[in-house]
């Protein structure tokens, strides 16, 4: 889903656009590989639900132990990746991706 927000949009409108923006796990895996965030092999495994990219596994490892299994299952089984997903925020922090850059990837 591509949502265009005017440059003069209010912070609330931008937040809502981010909450509404998503792409398929496959598309996000391809984007992640093209951006160099993960390898092509990791993208193929992740898109098929057969593996978690190393960067995501590392980020998940920073969560409390009781939350790690559920997050791994979420990463493997979700069909969509939302702009506001915890995984996206973790990736942004690790790779130093700005809100504006990630918004552009999600078509905001």
* 5-23 residue pLDDT tens: 555 678 999 999 999 999 9
Output the pLDDT for position 9: 76
In a domain, 4, yes or no: no
The set of residues, in sequence order, having a beta carbon less than 8 Å from that of 59 and lying 6+ positions away, is 87, 90, 91, 94
In a domain, 66, yes or no: yes
Domain that holds residue 63: 22-102
Output the pLDDT for position 84: 96
Q: Environment class of residue 57 by beta-carbon count within 10 Å: exposed (0-12), middle (13-18) or buried (19+)? A: middle
Output the pLDDT for position 106: 96
Output the pLDDT for position 44: 97
Q: How far is CA 39 from CA 55, 63, 86, in A?
A: 10, 23, 21
In a domain, 47, yes or no: yes
In the block, which residue shows the tokens 């990837």?
105
In the block, which residue shows the tokens 């973790």?
90
Output the pLDDT for position 8: 62
How far is the C-alpha of 11 from the C-alpha of 23, rounded, in Å?
A: 22
Output the pLDDT for position 2: 58
Output the pLDDT for position 1: 56
pTM above 0.85? Answer: no
In a domain, 70, yes or no: yes
Please tell me the total count of domains within the chain. 1
Q: How confident is the chain (108 residues) per 10-residue block, as mean pLDDT?
A: 62 93 96 95 95 93 94 93 92 92 94
């Amino acid at each position: 889903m591509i949502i265009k927000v005017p440059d003069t949009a209010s912070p609330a409108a931008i937040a809502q656009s981010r909450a509404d923006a998503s792409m398929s796990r496959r598309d996000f895996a391809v984007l992640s590989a093209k951006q160099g965030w993960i390898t092509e092999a990791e993208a193929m495994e992740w898109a098929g639900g057969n593996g978690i990219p190393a960067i995501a596994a590392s980020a998940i490892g920073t969560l409390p132990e009781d939350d790690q299994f559920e997050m791994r299952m979420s990463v493997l089984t979700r069909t969509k990746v939302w702009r506001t997903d915890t995984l996206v925020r973790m990736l942004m922090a690790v790779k130093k991706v700005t809100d504006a850059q990630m918004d552009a990837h999600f078509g905001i």
